[in-house]
């Protein structure tokens, strides 16, 4: 991907001050989706990075819900299964789960029990890496099945929140925004 196209995608990512609460500058990927050529370029750039940074991928997982914008496409292009990671109670059948801490309280992340097998090499996809709590929970959940996380692929990272320090796996982000 050429630098000009990546810069155009970056420029399209909007920031919304004081959302979802005062003091937060929310970075929103939806504005990129309004421009199909840019969205396709972003997806293809993510795919190229996955191919460059991994040797074998057996599955792509994605975090609810914005990770679902990228995960199915990437899985299809890699010719591997797509596996959704969702909040508790959103998936049918028997699930494995992990609990993780939020700023105030806890949440639960689930995956269908038979989705992965021991030894699978898995890519986790999401739109945003902020504090790293949800990504770390996804890593823990996948590893609980004896599968291995070979890459965390993220569209946007907010380095000032130091989320990468909580991610216990190789991580690649397409764009970083250091503004608070």
In this prediction, residue 77 carries a pLDDT of 98
Q: What is the pLDDT of residues 149-172, one digit of tens each?
A: 999 999 999 999 899 999 999 999
- Is 66 among the residues known to form the active site? yes
User: Among 34, 94, 103, 180, which one carries the catalytic annotation?
Assistant: 103
146 pLDDT more than 80: yes
* Rounded percentage of the chain residues whose pLDDT exceeds 90: 89
pLDDT of residue 45: 98
pLDDT in tens, 20-64: 888 888 899 999 999 999 999 999 999 999 999 999 999 999 999
Q: Which distant-in-sequence residues (6+ apart) come within 8 Å of 40 by Cβ?
A: none
CA dist 169 and 45 (Å) reads 20
Catalytic residue from among 14, 40, 44, 66: 66
Q: Per the structure block, which two tokens stand in for 128? A: 């945003």
**pLDDT given at position 104:** 73
The yes-or-no answer on residue 49 being catalytic is no
pLDDT at 100: 93
**Residue 180 pLDDT:** 59
- Tens of pLDDT along 87-108? 999 999 999 999 998 767 899 9
Cα(91)–Cα(108) distance, rounded to whole angstroms? 12
> Going along 18-138, which residue ranges are E strands?
25-28, 59-63, 82-87, 95-102, 105-112, 121-129
């Amino acid at each position: 991907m050429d630098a000009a196209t990546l810069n155009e995608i970056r420029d399209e990512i909007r920031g919304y001050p004081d959302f979802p609460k005062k003091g937060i500058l929310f970075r929103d990927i939806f504005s990129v989706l309004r421009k199909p050529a840019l969205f396709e370029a972003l997806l293809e750039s993510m795919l190229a990075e996955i191919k460059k940074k991994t040797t074998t991928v057996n599955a792509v997982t994605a975090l609810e819900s914005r990770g679902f914008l990228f995960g199915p496409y990437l899985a299809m292009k890699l010719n591997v299964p797509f596996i959704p990671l969702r909040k508790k109670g959103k998936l049918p059948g028997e699930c494995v789960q992990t609990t993780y801490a939020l700023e105030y309280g806890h949440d639960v992340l689930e995956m269908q029990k038979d989705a992965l097998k021991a030894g699978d090499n898995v890519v986790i996809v999401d739109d945003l890496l902020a504090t790293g709590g949800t990504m770390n929970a996804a890593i823990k959940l996948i590893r609980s099945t004896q599968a291995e996380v070979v890459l965390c692929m993220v569209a946007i990272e907010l380095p000032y929140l130091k989320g990468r320090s909580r991610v216990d796996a190789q991580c690649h982000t397409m764009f970083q925004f250091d503004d608070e």
